[in-house]
Structures are given as structure tokens and as C-alpha cells.
Amino acid sequence: MTRLYKNIFILTGAGISAESGLSTFRSENGLWNNHRVEDVATIEAYYRNQDFVHQFYNDMRPELFAAKPNPAHLAITKLQKEYPADNISVVTQNVDTLHEKAGNNNVYHIHGQINQIVCMHCGHVFETWGDITSEDSCPKCGTTAMLKPNIVFFGESLLYMDVVDRLLSKCDLFISVGTSGVIYPAAGFVQIAKAYGADTFEFNMETTSNNYLFDKHIYGPAGTTLPQFVDELIKAAK
């Protein structure tokens, strides 16, 4: 790693939060907190049974509120503080707020955030860690039964894609941490980064669906491997 990187793009997935005790999506039984994704993370499910979907996220909020960042999240803060790049951004598929709790800057939640609610009538987004039901109304427009967790459901467009496109076009180092690489468009970001000449590193416990697109693979728990990698990057820049 003798190259001095100027623009670092860090893509994270559920695996970076695993050592904080949060479940990943594609565990053995393929369920997300014991629910099929189709039943709780599609716009059809939301319109079919709004309160069932609300309850799934209401149940999740306390756990995510209490979760603590692990050394992988903290390593990103260290990199942002000590590595002489022009920009180090975190594009996360996670809806938890562990990157922010760890002190990471430039964090973009392309799949949304568990502590945000969006009004499907006026588009207003507000924050809460509490429960939401179909009886609640929008604090801005007052419309009832049109509030939805600000989480990108299957069938909806991702958030911050204009920022992602700009960051990918400039990045010279692309790091993927804890994502299975099966959900697009995020799984395709590495290919775009490569096309722009970036070095690409993948941090995971095992080989992934798109591992052939990465220059280097660093296997093991991110809470161990990422801090080591960050220390080596910082040392090489001195």
C-alpha cells in the first residue's frame, strides 16, 4: 500500500455491525429478525398491512438505539482523523446509526435510517426513536396514516445516489466492509470504482458473490481486520 490515496469510498453492510450484536440479513435461515424481507421491507407489505410493518421497525428501534459501535466503526473515525486524504466518505446500507455514534463523518445512508420517519403525503422527514402507528399524523402536513419508516423498501429508489455517483467517480480507494454483495445497485459500486482506476479491497468473513471484482480480500471479523488495515494505511502515509 505505498500509494497515497486522496479519495476513499467506504461501503458498509450489516457485517460491520455484527460485532455490535446486530443481526445481518442473510444469516443461515435467510430471515431478518425472523421475518421474510418480503413481509416487512416492500412497499406492497406497507400498503397491505401498515401496522404490521410499523411494529417490525418499532420492535427494532430500542435494540438499535442501545447498540454501541465496535472497533471497525471506530477505525473509520481514526482513518478520517489521521489519514491525509482529501475526502473519506462512508456509504452505508445499514439503517443503524453506529457510524455516527463512532464519530464517522460524511456518512450517507443509501437504504435510510431506523430513527427517521417520512411522510408519504408531503415528503417531510423527521427523527424519532419511538413507536409509530397508522394512527399517527405528520407533524408538518397533519396527514394521518401516511407515515413510513424512512427505510428504502424493495421497489423504492435508493437515497443519495447523486452523491454516490460523484464519490465513485473520484475515488482511488474503494473499501467494502461486511456486505454480501448480492443487493444492487450497492453491489455494483465496486465495478464503477474499478472503472475509474480505484484499488478495491473487500473485508468479509467469507468469499462473496462479487468477490472477483476486488483486488484484495481481507477475511476475518472487521472489528479486527479493519483497525489493522487502517493502522497500516496511516503508517504508509507517514
Closest approach, Cβ 93 to ligand APR, in A, equals 3
Q: Of these, 37, 120, 192, 234, which contacts ligand APR (CB under 6 A)?
A: 37
Catalytic one among 35, 73, 111, 121?
A: 111
Q: Of these, 26, 35, 101, 121, which contacts ligand APR (CB under 6 A)?
A: 26
CA distance 174 to 180: 16
Segment interacting with ligand APR (CB under 6 A) among 48-56, 57-65, 124-132, 198-206:
198-206
74 binds ligand APR per the rule CB under 6 A: no
Applying CB under 6 A, the site for ligand APR has a residue count of 22
Closest approach, Cβ 18 to ligand APR, in A, equals 4
CA distance 238 to 4: 10
Q: Of these, 15, 69, 71, 149, which contacts ligand APR (CB under 6 A)?
A: 15
Which of the residues 199 through 238 are near ligand APR (CB under 6 A)?
Answer: 203-206, 208, 221-222
Which residue, 70 or 138, has its beta carbon nearer to ligand APR? Answer: 70
237: exposed, middle or buried (Cβ count in 10 Å: 0-12, 13-18, 19+): middle
39 binds ligand APR per the rule CB under 6 A: no
Assess whether 111 carries a catalytic annotation. Answer: yes
Torsion angle in degrees (nearest 10) through CA of 213, 215, 209, 206: 180
Q: Of these, 69, 71, 149, 178, which contacts ligand APR (CB under 6 A)?
A: 178
Count the neighbouring beta carbons within 10 Å of the beta carbon of residue 17: 26
Q: Which residues bind ligand APR (CB under 6 A)?
A: 13-15, 18-19, 24-26, 37, 93, 111, 178-180, 183, 203-206, 208, 221-222
Catalytic residues: 111
